[in-house]
Amino acid sequence: MNNELILASESPRRRELLTQAGIAFTVMSAHAPEIKEGEPEEVALHNAVAKASAVAALCPGKPVLGADTIVYLDGHVFGKPADEADARAMLSALNGRWHQVYTGVALIDEQGQAHTACTMTDVHFVEMTDAEISAYIATKEPFGKAGAYAIQGRAGAYIDRIEGSFSNVIGLPLTTVRELIHQLN
């Protein structure tokens, strides 16, 4: 990869993770329609490719990284909550249970070819009281985050176990990104 990577995301968490990994990048917003139903890997990969493709169309010949993170429980895909009621419903469903976090990653190379991968991490929430759920929602942290929580934020106090990539739960599996970049070099 000869050109600097373009991150097709406005997510501050993805920017922080790429910076932490020492990967040089610039940011360009991705505006692409997302799907919300289907098998979790398919949903995450479809949305990641759509975001990366939208930016790649504007920047031909440049490598573009797109990602999409979803939370999956009992056959339901949880994206970002629409409002407080939606956040409460998501957190109540996750309460005291294991769920999966999927992040689809798409890296479009300088020739326009998409290289994709999906990472899954199991996450367990401890029991939260209704008051704890209300207090967490009041922080506004759940908004803009798949499943209505941020493991690296206040929600970390309610997550006692994960199996898999921590950075995946934040929104970008760094080992997966590294592997895709190495495939291009």
| Catalytic machinery residues | 68
3-state secondary structure the chain: CCCCEEECCCCHHHHHHHHHCCCCEEECCCCCCCCCCCCHHHHHHHHHHHHHHHHHHHCCCCCEEEEEEEEEECCEEECCCCCHHHHHHHHHHHCCCEEEEEEEEEEECCCCCEEEEEEEEEEEECCCCHHHHHHHHHCCCCCCCHHHCCCCCHHHHHEEEEECCHHHHHCCCHHHHHHHHHHHC
